[in-house]
Structure 1
Amino acid sequence: MKKKLILLFLWVCILPALLSAQSRFAFRDGKFVIAQFTDLHWTPKSPKCAETAATIRAVLKAERPDLAVLSGDVVTADPAIDGWKAVVGIFNETKTPFVVTMGNHDAEYMTRGDIYDFLLKSPYYVGAKGPKDVGYGNCVIPVYASKEKDKVAASLYCMDSNDYQPNKLYGAYDWIHFNQIEWYRKQSASFAAGNGGNPVPALAFFHIPLIEYNELAGDGKTFGNDKEGGVASSNINSGMFASFIDMKDVMGVFVGHDHDNDFIGIDKGIALGYGRVTGTDAYGVLTRGARIIELYEGKYKFDTWISTSSGREAVYYYPSGLNSEEEQTMAYQPAKNVSPDKHGVAYIYYEGKCKRVADITSCGKVKEGVMKNFSIGEAAVTDHFAYDFRTLVNIPEKGVYRFYTFSDDGSVLYIDGKLVVNNDGGHSGRRAEGKVALEKGFHELHLLYFEDYMGQELEVGYSGRNILETTLPDDMLFIPD
């Protein structure tokens, strides 16, 4: 037992230093670029391996990543050692630092231990073998600040999502185990301690998607391809996602496994994304390629896109959840030709029973006036009242914006007369959101809200490509003429 504890201590505390000595990564000009290749399904005797190799080389040449991550199902046929030699040879020849996480098929043809023993012979392999009881290949790669040479500015967690488990009562796939989660939490806490107690921005890479990916599939808020017909996750909630939320460092999780999915979306503030299938011998209809992730130094922010031999596809922006395709295709609403000089929100306050915002006009008007921001705190009664808010919102730059309301009961938000957020109807506290493309300048914002019975709440906010989600600030709101 004591030996195991000593090994775990060495693994948790010494690994970052070993990795740093082998290949020290740092931001350059405020950016750090990662290429995620997934599901190569390299079949050594197949002529299609040449196409897979050409895809990898094309992406590496076009994107020039600082690091490549191979997220599982790399070599999936015998003779496996020949396959690994060929794959590693690509990164040796291109002099690209790389790391590998295990898929569910890799160990079917060569043991995990033997795979990592071979990988560690490459001068460009920057991962670690890791002790068996924590998970082969589990490692964290620190990325240092561009100027403060000893400051870790980002961390990249590479983990073994395991493969199968014997009891089919629990489904086909295994899950990330508690000792792996404990390892992650200790690493995360160590980085935070070295950063003045603040979490260090991070990403996580592994093969099999978490069960939380099912929360995004089909929700209409993802970007990219969702052609798999589902998410092939474990049926067991491992607690990994909850730990990411608890430690507050991981911005995004990137996996493979489902070849016809490459979508990305945000669940509870964390991006859950797929890579793009890379291997020609793998099943699937998507053009082969890789996912590129560009981190921003000192920010909880990244851009990501798919890169293929034909070029780049649209860019997705975290944390806004917006994308460049929307920026190019949505119709932009022009700014109003006005010059307001007084901050505030004009309102009309009503009392009466409503079931939908359309019922507000049948209520009794009690008073009207101006307030600093959207608020229902001045309502004279606790139930059966409503507000009609109007203001001019000053948009700082041309772009696509996401507005939201969180309300109990119903709310509806219009920009320049266009319905953007529909949160109507009687309900408990609930969030609704919508996107709108706006030119820089002033735009009319019209918000209708009603409280029916029990509980009352209203919050109005927005986000943009370069704006973290926030409630609408007072200094953006102006009283209409």
Structure 2
Amino acid sequence: MKKQLIFTIALFLCSLVANASDIQLKFNKKGQFKIAQFTDLHWIHGSPNSIETAETIKHVLETEKPDVAILSGDVVWKDSVKEGWLTVAKIFEEAKTPWAITLGNHDSEDDLTRDGVFEFLEGMPYYIGEKGEELTGCGNYSLPILSSQSSKIAAVLYCVDSNDYPADQKLGHYDWIHFDQIDWYRKTSDKYTAQNNGKPLPSLAFFHIPLPEYKEIIGKDTTHGAKNEEGVSSPVVNSGFFCSLMEKGDVMGTFVGHDHDNNYIGILHDIALAYGRVTGADAYGDFERGARIITMYEGKNQFDTWIRTKSGTELLYYYPSGISAQEEASAQYMPAIKTNPKKQGVAYTYYEGRIKSTDRIASLTPLKTGIINNISLAPASAQDSFAFEFKTLIKISERGMYRFYTHSDDGSKLFINGKLVVDNDGSHNARRREGKIALEAGYHELKVLYFEDYMGESLEVGISSRSILEIPIPDNMLYVPEK
């Protein structure tokens, strides 16, 4: 009797430990937080392929040891859905890994509704997903991540239902994130921002169906990974969710599934748009099954992400730089120059005359020279038909790949140690051009040529890297070249 009582008490205590209400997501002592995104399990209870899917999930959990797992839709389908969910839940319970879900278009096609899935999973060990508010779809909720040093919220994960199919077939094959969901996100984001003294918290968003904006990053040099699908299976209707993400300024990246043969990631307007890696062996697709891993860094708008499979890791990618580890490894790094400047600033030469290309600046007569704090058009005496040559030394604190941009009206070019990095030349309205270069730590010569033809003069020069969120180059990185 005494042994039975002890056993009963032990079981009760174990259930308390695994209860969702007792699980807190928290940055570790190193200020890191790791997420495993599993997507498109397409779990069919009793299928031999489900054994392979389970082995893939277990391998990822054992090798990566994530702080949380997010299952981003199309998890369990076809026959014996409840048994399938129980089996999937058991994998995370045995691994003692907190897990949450967003729903896909196939998750309500059988004997469980979207509400029913969340009601069925509620209370399961290590499950921390929520049904959320009464909105379109089901499972619109946020998961706060606490600071490593306190109980203060330091970051947020948003889980959003991208729904399934529109009622009107004329509106396309796939549904979209609706206005009431967007309103919920905006209000929730505002709440977290207010709690953080008005500063948006670094956040990520997970849902199933990709946004229409996923089409816009294809072919960009910040986009890495494979696009093997014929297209992007996004909604035809663009409800503006991406615009709200931009406006609120908290979400660094969105992570979806749905298109099994796409696994690319890229950046649009400072937001990463990423596919996961298909996980289920019963799902279509040629990729080796696995998961996308994301590591967030406390207090920083920064994350690293890669694909984990049984074969190892691939496609390591750094946000906010949009640079991949493969690029860094294969790049030829430009050495720093030997110099020790004493004064911060930028040397400029000012010209006037009507030209149509920066190449013609050398034909103009210099009118004045000087030193200013940063690259600026402030010394210009004319409103039109003038030009500048800016020369400075940029201090690079750590070896790595760096992305530079110019946003100018009219033409501009940016050179590092004499090498053309950004070509934004020609007579044109305000526009942006960018380029990247691998640099050793130390000082490098930076030169910018600029001309204004007619109306709308403007120039901004910026930088980003693995550790620098894109900004105009700050004054404290620029030094006056030694004569």
Q: Who is 2:389 aligned against?
A: 388
The correspondence of residues 56-455 of structure 1 with structure 2, limited to 5 A, is: 56-110=57-111, 111-130=113-132, 133-149=135-151, 151-455=152-456
Secondary structure of the residue that 2:340 maps to in structure 1? coil
Q: C-alpha distance in 2, partners of 1:229/1:132?
A: 36
8 Å CA contact 2:20, 2:123 repeated in 1: no
Note the C-alpha offset of 1:479: 2.6
Q: Who is 1:27 aligned against?
A: 27
Task: Please list the CA deviations of residues 96-143 of structure 1 after superposition, one character each: whole Å capped at 9, or x if unmatched.
Answer: 111111101111123223322222242111012245544312221111
Counterparts in 2 of 1:241 and 1:373: CA distance versus 1, 3 Å: same
8 Å CA contact 2:377, 2:458 repeated in 1: yes
8 Å CA contact 1:92, 1:123 repeated in 2: yes
Q: C-alpha distance in 1, partners of 2:221/2:187?
A: 36
Counterparts in 2 of 1:128 and 1:474: CA distance versus 1, 3 Å: closer
Task: Please list the CA deviations of residues 408-442 of structure 1 after superposition, one character each: whole Å capped at 9, or x if unmatched.
Answer: 11111111121111111111111111111111111
2:235 is aligned with what amino acid? S
8 Å CA contact 1:20, 1:142 repeated in 2: no
2:124 is aligned with what amino acid? S
8 Å CA contact 1:411, 1:448 repeated in 2: yes
Task: Please list the CA deviations of residues 211-231 of structure 1 after superposition, one character each: whole Å capped at 9, or x if unmatched.
Answer: 222221223321222222322
Counterparts in 2 of 1:131 and 1:387: CA distance versus 1, 3 Å: closer
8 Å CA contact 1:22, 1:126 repeated in 2: no
Counterparts in 2 of 1:128 and 1:46: CA distance versus 1, 3 Å: same
> RMSD over aligned Cα, in angstroms?
1.8
1:25 is aligned with what amino acid? L
TM-score using structure 1 length = 0.92
Q: C-alpha distance in 2, partners of 1:446/1:246?
A: 33
8 Å CA contact 1:353, 1:363 repeated in 2: no
Q: C-alpha distance in 1, partners of 2:183/2:393?
A: 50
Task: Please list the CA deviations of residues 264-318 of structure 1 after superposition, one character each: whole Å capped at 9, or x if unmatched.
Answer: 1221222211111111221222221111111111222221111111122242222
Secondary structure of the residue that 1:50 maps to in structure 2? helix
Secondary structure of the residue that 2:200 maps to in structure 1? coil
Note the C-alpha offset of 1:346: 2.5
Q: Which segments of 5 or more consecutive residues in structure 2 lack a partner in the other structure?
A: 1-18
Secondary structure of the residue that 1:313 maps to in structure 2? strand
Q: C-alpha distance in 1, partners of 2:170/2:355?
A: 49
Secondary structure of the residue that 2:108 maps to in structure 1? helix
Of all paired residues, the percent bearing the same amino acid is 55
8 Å CA contact 2:302, 2:467 repeated in 1: no
TM-score using structure 2 length = 0.91
Q: C-alpha distance in 2, partners of 1:133/1:478?
A: 54
Note the C-alpha offset of 1:44: 2.6
Q: Which segments of 5 or more consecutive residues in structure 1 lack a partner in the other structure?
A: 1-18
Counterparts in 2 of 1:472 and 1:113: CA distance versus 1, 3 Å: closer
Note the C-alpha offset of 1:40: 0.9
Note the C-alpha offset of 1:341: 2.3
Counterparts in 2 of 1:344 and 1:117: CA distance versus 1, 3 Å: closer
Secondary structure of the residue that 1:220 maps to in structure 2? coil
Note the C-alpha offset of 1:451: 0.8
Q: C-alpha distance in 1, partners of 2:134/2:470?
A: 41
8 Å CA contact 2:20, 2:126 repeated in 1: no
Note the C-alpha offset of 1:169: 2.1
Secondary structure of the residue that 2:57 maps to in structure 1? helix
1:147 is aligned with what amino acid? Q
Instruction: Tell me the number of residue pairs that the alignment of Structure 1 and Structure 2 aligns.
Output: 462
Secondary structure of the residue that 2:454 maps to in structure 1? coil
Task: Please list the CA deviations of residues 140-192 of structure 1 after superposition, one character each: whole Å capped at 9, or x if unmatched.
Answer: 1111122222x111111111100001322211111111221222223222222
